[in-house]
Amino acid sequence: MIIDLSCYPTDLVDLAWRHDGPPFTGDKLLKMMDGPYYVNGKPRRIDKAFIQPPQGNTIYTHEVMDLEGKAAIRQYMAYTEKMVTEHPDRFLGCFVYNPRYGTQNGAEEIERYAKEFDFKMVQLQANMHAYRPDRALDWLRPALKKCADLGLMVKVHTGDGPYSIPTEFYPIIREFPEVNFILAHFGVQTGGVYVFEPMQMALDTPSVYVESGWCLQSRIVEFAKVLPKHKILFGSDTPPNEPGMWINLLEVLCHEPPQGLNLDEDTLEDYLGNNVARMIGLEATKPPATVEEAEAYLRQHGVALAA
């Protein structure tokens, strides 16, 4: 099972990043998830993806996203809700918490999406929503209390200054040790390369995990040698990224040193999806033993293979 932690299907082009082309819809994402992608020579698909709205569509934008309070939250979450409802076998919901629409409003909506639509995760995007996470603790506590009560994972956007440097989240992480925090993008984005901070945080703190996407290939080999095997989780940040390259980033771990570390396929499968599956109560699966087994699985799920 391959589970992607970070995907952003939308019916409205991201209002912050303004990617070229038409909106990257749920249908486009499903087609991309089917691949096939080749992992150690075997064709695979991305079985499930956590989806959420693009971050630029979770903020006030005049005459486009211009509602307030709960109405604004439901407006920016509407397409994610629609996709999760229509494709529950492929999409898992991630709620984006913007405290600027009201901390109590956000906390109540976290509970509603978790209970009504089975959302499993909440994301914090301090840079886009303009708050310092180590100082705005009163803005974060209502949401984190709700995540603790409901057993939800919290994914944290990291890699940008001034407000998304990984260690800025340590105060809220320490305050809620029962919540599993995932440091998205491994501390790499437009503003910096903070890869050693997430690695040390995951090494030192039981509740901290790292998302593999965006990490430097040579560093992921270093970090996989020392991190507990359950701490590395696959995420591609699609779009703008293409998931195949980040699957390959982890597959390289099965190569010989110095580029890889002769990782076994069962542990690779943990990184690609089983670690997350266990965190959200899904049954872990074995990697396909042969090419024929992999092809049969894809055909069973309607994925076309080249003749």
Of 127, 202, 215, 211, the residue nearest 164 (C-alpha): 127
Q: What is the pLDDT of residue 87?
A: 98
Identify which of 206, 187, 207 has the alpha carbon closest to the alpha carbon of residue 198.
187
- Planar angle of CA 72, 75, 79, nearest 5 degrees: 150
pLDDT of the residue at 248 = 96
pLDDT in the model for residue 51: 98
Encode pLDDT of 247-266 as tens digits.
999 999 999 999 999 999 99
Tell whether the model's pLDDT for residue 307 goes beyond 80: no
Say how many C-beta atoms besides its own lie within 10 A of residue 264's C-beta.
11
pLDDT of residue 63: 87
Q: Across residues 16-37, what is the average pLDDT? A: 95
Q: Which among 160, 147, 138 has a CA at the least distance from the CA of 119? A: 147
In percent, how much of the chain has pLDDT > 90? 95
pLDDT digits (tens, 9 = 90+) for 130-179: 999 999 999 999 999 999 999 999 999 999 999 999 999 999 999 999 99
- Residue 156 forms beta bridges with which residues? 124, 183
pLDDT averaged over every residue in the chain: 96
Helix axes 137-150, 103-117, angle to 10 degrees: 20
Which pLDDT score is estimated for 109? 98
The residue among 236 and 191 whose pLDDT is bigger is: 236
User: Which residues, listed in sequence order, are joined to residue 183 by a DSSP beta bridge?
Assistant: 156, 210
State the CB neighbour count (10 A cutoff) for residue 274: 26
Contact 211, 191 (CB under 8 A): no
Spatial distance between the Cα atoms of 198 and 185, rounded to a whole number of angstroms: 9
The mean per-residue pLDDT over the stretch 300-307 comes to: 88
β-bridge mates for residue 307, sequence order: none
Two tokens at 299? 């055909």
**pLDDT above 90 (res 18):** no
Q: For residues 114 and 147, give the distance between their C-alpha atoms in angstroms, rounded to a whole number.
A: 9
Cα 121 from Cα 49, distance rounded (Å): 12
Query: What is the band of 17 on the pLDDT scale with cuts at 50, 70, 90?
Result: confident
pLDDT at 190 over 90: no
Give yes or no for a contact between 234 and 200, defined as CB atoms under 8 angstroms apart: no
